[in-house]
Structure 1
Amino acid sequence: MRLMLERSLLLIVDMQAGLMRVIEHGEQATTEAAWLGGLAGELEVPVWITEQYPEGLGGSEPHLLEALPGCRLWQKVHFDAHAEPAFASALAESGKRQIVLCGTEAHICVMQTGLGLLEAGYEVYWLVEATASRRAAEAVLAKERMVQAGAVPVSADMVAYEWLHRCDNARFKQAHRRFLRPRAGRTLIF
């Protein structure tokens, strides 16, 4: 169950401007998602972002989109992104089987997307510091439920170093200069 660069995709669920202002630990979640997304882009891991009903909740958090210019954006009406036929088809065609999952709200769209992915046979890695809800207790409960269902809880650093795999090559040195420095104020919130 080790994360492999060539098998991975980072999926950021519904970090939308209209929602983030009421999310407990929302700023940290966005910062961590942007940080790992930036590294993913550097390592050519696809980054997909979903938006739930953007007409009402607004588009994705501008800081996130600015940090991830190469991301693929998906709009959805199902809480489970995998229930969207075009999304499910594109994911299957990508050949990526390891999904690093994060976003908001943990207990609604992130969890339902994770459950849908697990049911479809994907490996799901729950990115703890980048997954939040309006109430932290609900994010904790969502993580517990996902772990019981088969998801693996991970931190951004765990993912980064598994993707990099070794320290004696140019890829690691480039990533280390740009991404692998300590980030102030980080805590594992859940």
Structure 2
Amino acid sequence: MRLVREKSLLLIVDLQAGLLPVLDGGEQAVGEASWLGGVASALEVPVWLTEQYPAGLGGSEPRLREALEGALYWEKSRFDAHAEPDFAKALAQSGRHQVVLCGAEAHVCVLQTGLGLREAGYEVFWLAEATVSRRREEASLARRRIERAGAWAVSADMAAYEWLERCDDARFRDVHRRFLKPRSPRPLRFFD
């Protein structure tokens, strides 16, 4: 299944300041989510962020807020964001049926949101290097489970180039100049 920018939405789940210090790979997740969020915004792919109990866990990581100025924020109390009625209604009304999903914790809120989206008929793309938990093993289990439920694992580059689609489009040159230059070296963390 191929990502199409007109059908896609980037959903960043609970990458919050209070969680970040305890997440295995949290810094990389913020970097990848911010980078892909910038590409998405430049290509007019909506970017949504959720926040679980921000009064206790803090809001979204400040670097995400800074990088993703036009993003839509959703406060939630359920682990599955799609179980929140206002969220589910807005997503249905958006006309976007492909959700690139990432965030924390992989085995709790991201997984439950992904399962809820799959149950509702959405195509789910698990952004592997930006989906993390406190323990790497739990993120790995979550990825295997969501893939068995019909989701696909993708990297940020895969999503960006599928959204771009071609190199002879003015959008490609603009996005490539702004975002697709080589990034600083980072360890790729694809969980098995």
Alignment of 1:1-190 (within 5 A): 1-189=1-189, 190=191
Q: Percent identity?
A: 68
Matched letter for residue 92 of structure 1: A
Distance in 1, Cα, partners of 2:142 & 2:107: 5
Distance in 1, Cα, partners of 2:9 & 2:169: 22
Matched letter for residue 57 of structure 2: L
Q: Deviations over 1:75-95 (max 9, x none)?
A: 000000000000000000000
Contact persistence 1:8–1:100 (CA under 8 A):
yes
Distance in 1, Cα, partners of 2:11 & 2:133: 17
Q: Deviations over 1:102-161 (max 9, x none)?
A: 000000000000000000000000000110001111101100111011110000000000
Deviation at residue 185 of structure 1 after TM alignment: 2.8
Deviation at residue 183 of structure 1 after TM alignment: 1.6
Matched letter for residue 90 of structure 1: A
Aligned residue for 1:188, secondary structure, equals coil
Distance in 2, Cα, partners of 1:140 & 1:188: 14
Equivalenced residue count is 190
Contact persistence 1:129–1:187 (CA under 8 A):
no
Deviation at residue 184 of structure 1 after TM alignment: 2.0
Contact persistence 1:117–1:123 (CA under 8 A):
yes
Unaligned runs of 5+ in 1: none
CA RMSD of the aligned region, Å? 0.6
TM-score (norm 2): 0.98
Aligned residue for 1:103, secondary structure, equals strand
Q: Deviations over 1:43-70 (max 9, x none)?
A: 0000000000001101000000000000
